[in-house]
Structure 1
Amino acid sequence: MATEKAAFDTPAKRAKLAANRNPYWSGISGGRGGLSLGYRKPTRGVGSWVAKIVIAGARVEERIAPADDAGAGPDALPYPQAIAAALSWGRQQYAGIEARQTGDVVATAPTVRSAIEAYISEREAKSASGADAKSRLGKHVLSDERFAELKLSKLTAASIRRWRDGLPNTLRPSTINRLLNDLRAALNAAVERQRRELPAHILGDIKSGTKALPSATEARRQVLSDADVRGLADAAFALDETGDFGRLVLLAASTGARFSQLAALTVADVQVDRLRVMLPVSKKGRGVKQAARIAVPVGDDVVSRLKPALNGRRGHEPLLMRWHSRQTGPFKWERVDRQAWKTASEALRLWSAAVASAGLPAGTVMYALRHTSIVRGLRCGLPVRLVAALHDTSTAMIEKHYAAFIVDATEELARRAIMTLAPAALVQLQVVEEDAA
């Protein structure tokens, strides 16, 4: 039987209470009704803190955390911290109730699942790359029912880490980091939409829980030599007689663009007379970008190899195309029509074959062409700001991930300004005898 203002502020007092499925309540804010902190005493084991709020006819009750009873775990809260947690929860619930009454938000409490589904819908509406994100998140996040159904109001860095610990050991660090990037973006977007209903600390927990694995740096170590890049481009053309895959690799190597940018190129984006490609900006990031295209200079050899894809075609047509085939029988395929490249996964088989043909390690990824292009620009002494602009990224990202190459490049420039401080060597004068008159 519940009692008002029950004494449960210490473990000793709580140990004397009778087990009860209904919490023992104590009002902590707002007078009658208002906000209350409760303690639920189980028949066995550790009790739990419960919070309740009653406002304008609306009543919300929720478990906050385990109490610091005997045998409690490290996440258990003592009474003072439970009071603070209940007050924070109460402010959050009050804002949520007010928002729902004014129609500012949907009535359903947001969960990890609802955040991901909204994110996938938005990604698919933006570009075909949303299919890859849908596959990753569906397979590794939504399949975990416990984590997927977790309310965002309950989400903590610890709960995210518990989900991470359950991922298959076969996943590569780079794959896990891509998954974490997608999850972080989905959760942040949901928090932005429904921030009035969620605790203030949630953004910090999301950032901490989805922190990238420090060991996932293989891709950025894959900086290729000029000979390796030329070998990959030649192998790509040799593997596909249509030149479709070859042109994809050629442009990736010469511009350092992301796959999504290359897939969005049109015939008009290749300016033959000016030897440059007008790359569409990527859809990464939240802000509105100032330019829709980035002018990237390319060599005459690149333009020459692109000309077969330009001749007789209209400017608005997709530049990079590929044959779409359908299976007509066991191990039999028939070409149906030509379509634009959509996702990077469509190029995986040919890329693996090109890597093998060029004699490079099997783990070489296509994104290495982007890293190589960035490093080449830095080593050539281009300003960091220009390298960032050409590759549609920020100077902060370049400085964070390519600091070692920036140091190498700037060291060579700084060496030109070195002044010799050692005394100049004395020059011995030679005696010159005059010719006899």
Structure 2
Amino acid sequence: MALDLSKVGERKKLKKQREPHWQRLRAGCFLGFRPSKRSGPGSWIARAYDEDSGKYQLKALGDFGELVGNARFAAAKKEAEKLAELVEAGGEIRAKLETVSDACRDYAKSKTEAEARFKRYVYSDPLGKVKLDKLRRRHVAEWRKRLEQTPSLVSRNKDGETRTRSRAPSTVNRDMAVLRAALTKVLSPGAPNSEAAWQEALQAIRNADRQRTLYLDRVQRKKLLAAIDSEIAPFVRALCLLPLRPGALAALTAGDFDKRTSELTIGKDKTGKPRRIQLPAEATGLMVEQSKDKLPTAPMFMRGNGKAWDKNSWKKPIAAAVKAAELPAGATAYTLRHSTITDLVSAGLPLLTIAQISGTSAEMIERHYGHLASDAAVKALGELAL
């Protein structure tokens, strides 16, 4: 008599052994079940025949412990059929991912920012060692608590002394977002309000991204440029001309600028996807000047030591210029990006266009700057009436 793993009672009668008990779903597609030796829910395995290699490919599916007994077979069967379709189409099975750290490393293969966050907060944390099929809400909730209590590094001086501050809710959200994305690729969400609902512990803190209201007008930005050190002046001038993130601007190389078309390719940015933008005349002139006689791989904005600017090297000269120009004390490199975006919105440029140039979503532009677009529209209507 053929084995029927869909019946909970039949599964309970199965002998506890290393080799799974197999049920044939169709030609070349099998679903296996291995009973737990410790009264657990047991684990499921899929097996699919690969005609090219003449061998079966296996994939561990986990225990589906978040589901009730009679629903586990259906979920496992669905995953086994997906595996068979993948193998039959010539696809490859990913390397076996057992722990949370494995899932994070797989996700971060081409995402340097995510990898950096995982190195700081996951790989060395107890959460990293938790098996994926054993992950529960409490594991993630405990990790989140540790993360929220970890101070953020503000600066480090030459003597090794560090200054820190409490971790901001917006920073916690960014750290959680990459972990949530990594786990979502390999795990299904658990049943709501259950211990299996690991995703619930990673819900973002609402209203954490406070609007950046500090704005420097054109006169104030000219004062800043007049007071800035000559070494960093081209970099700061570019921040005043283009609505780019400071990190993305600092990462530019001479080869990213096409003098013939006045186009700039922004590669390293928050979105992770390169984009090309058309530069206005003044910004084009600056890029022509900065890329002159440089190799394509050389930093577009180069420090005296030949290295590119970064947040640790641009902070002090900008802060010193802010103080010398008697500008608001909270002004930073990012303030210039916010100020430039504000000017573009106020000038009536379409929000979608601004979003594409600045490397963010139209939703974020609408959320933070939408009121300015409304003001610009009202002003335009008023001028029309005149």
Is the pair's TM-score, using the shorter chain for normalization, greater than 0.5? yes
- Alpha-carbon distance in structure 1 between the residues aligned to 2:146 and 2:337: 32
TM-score, L = length of structure 2 = 0.65
TM alignment of 1:227-246, pairs within 5 A: 227-235=219-227, 237=228, 240=229, 243-246=230-233
Corresponding residue SS for 1:340:
coil
* Correspondence 1:217 to 2:209: yes
Return the offset for 1:341: 1.3
- Alpha-carbon distance in structure 2 between the residues aligned to 1:393 and 1:63: 37
- Corresponding residue for residue 258 of structure 1: 245
* Correspondence 1:51 to 2:44: yes
Corresponding residue SS for 1:35:
strand
Corresponding residue SS for 2:148:
coil
TM alignment of 1:115-194, pairs within 5 A: 116-117=104-105, 122-123=110-111, 130=112, 134-147=115-128, 150-151=131-132, 163-169=143-149, 170=151, 171-180=167-176, 182-183=178-179, 191=185
- Alpha-carbon distance in structure 1 between the residues aligned to 2:63 and 2:211: 42
TM alignment of 1:335-350, pairs within 5 A: 338-350=305-317
Return the offset for 1:343: 3.3
In structure 2, relative to structure 1, the CA distance for the partners of 1:112 and 1:37 (3 Å cut) is: closer
In structure 2, relative to structure 1, the CA distance for the partners of 1:150 and 1:412 (3 Å cut) is: farther
Q: Which residue, out of 314, 324, 337, partners 2:293?
A: 314
Share of identical aligned residues, percent?
21
- Corresponding residue for residue 265 of structure 2: 280
- Corresponding residue for residue 91 of structure 1: 81
- CA-to-partner distance for each residue in 1:277-300, whole Å, 9 max, x for gaps? 7543344557674x4x5213439x
Return the offset for 1:141: 2.3
- Corresponding residue for residue 373 of structure 1: 340
- CA-to-partner distance for each residue in 1:296-337, whole Å, 9 max, x for gaps? 3439xx97xx69x949952656442213xxxxxxxxxxxxxx
- Corresponding residue for residue 35 of structure 1: 31
In structure 2, relative to structure 1, the CA distance for the partners of 1:181 and 1:52 (3 Å cut) is: closer
- Alpha-carbon distance in structure 2 between the residues aligned to 1:258 and 1:163: 30
In structure 2, relative to structure 1, the CA distance for the partners of 1:164 and 1:64 (3 Å cut) is: same
Aligned residues: 348
Corresponding residue SS for 2:279:
strand
- CA-to-partner distance for each residue in 1:38-64, whole Å, 9 max, x for gaps? 664746xxx425324455566666542
Return the offset for 1:139: 0.5
- Alpha-carbon distance in structure 2 between the residues aligned to 1:295 and 1:187: 39
- Alpha-carbon distance in structure 2 between the residues aligned to 1:113 and 1:30: 33
- Corresponding residue for residue 77 of structure 1: 67
Return the offset for 1:253: 1.8
- Alpha-carbon distance in structure 2 between the residues aligned to 1:418 and 1:312: 47
- CA-to-partner distance for each residue in 1:161-183, whole Å, 9 max, x for gaps? 66434413332233334434555
In structure 2, relative to structure 1, the CA distance for the partners of 1:277 and 1:161 (3 Å cut) is: farther
- Corresponding residue for residue 96 of structure 2: 108
TM alignment of 1:10-25, pairs within 5 A: none
- Alpha-carbon distance in structure 2 between the residues aligned to 1:342 and 1:144: 31
- CA-to-partner distance for each residue in 1:46-99, whole Å, 9 max, x for gaps? x42532445556666654244xxxxxxxxx432233233222333345456668
Corresponding residue SS for 2:232:
helix
Which letter maps to 2:240?
Answer: A
Return the offset for 1:252: 0.7
Corresponding residue SS for 1:220:
coil
Return the offset for 1:367: 1.8
In structure 2, relative to structure 1, the CA distance for the partners of 1:211 and 1:184 (3 Å cut) is: same
Unaligned runs of 5+ in 1: 67-75, 124-129, 192-197, 324-337, 420-437
* Correspondence 1:382 to 2:366: no
* Correspondence 1:64 to 2:57: no
Whether the 8 Å contact between 1:270 and 1:277 is mirrored in structure 2 is yes
Corresponding residue SS for 1:280:
strand
- Alpha-carbon distance in structure 2 between the residues aligned to 1:268 and 1:89: 44
* Correspondence 1:294 to 2:294: no
Which letter maps to 2:231?
Answer: D
In structure 2, relative to structure 1, the CA distance for the partners of 1:377 and 1:365 (3 Å cut) is: same
- CA-to-partner distance for each residue in 1:354-396, whole Å, 9 max, x for gaps? 455545344x542221121111111122333443454355545
- Note the aligned Cα RMSD (angstroms): 5.1
Whether the 8 Å contact between 2:47 and 2:59 is mirrored in structure 1 is yes
Which letter maps to 1:255?
Answer: L
In structure 2, relative to structure 1, the CA distance for the partners of 1:26 and 1:256 (3 Å cut) is: same
- Alpha-carbon distance in structure 1 between the residues aligned to 2:225 and 2:137: 44
- Corresponding residue for residue 369 of structure 2: 402
Whether the 8 Å contact between 2:244 and 2:358 is mirrored in structure 1 is yes
- Alpha-carbon distance in structure 1 between the residues aligned to 2:182 and 2:340: 30
In structure 2, relative to structure 1, the CA distance for the partners of 1:118 and 1:37 (3 Å cut) is: closer
Larger-Rg structure: 1
In structure 2, relative to structure 1, the CA distance for the partners of 1:394 and 1:35 (3 Å cut) is: closer
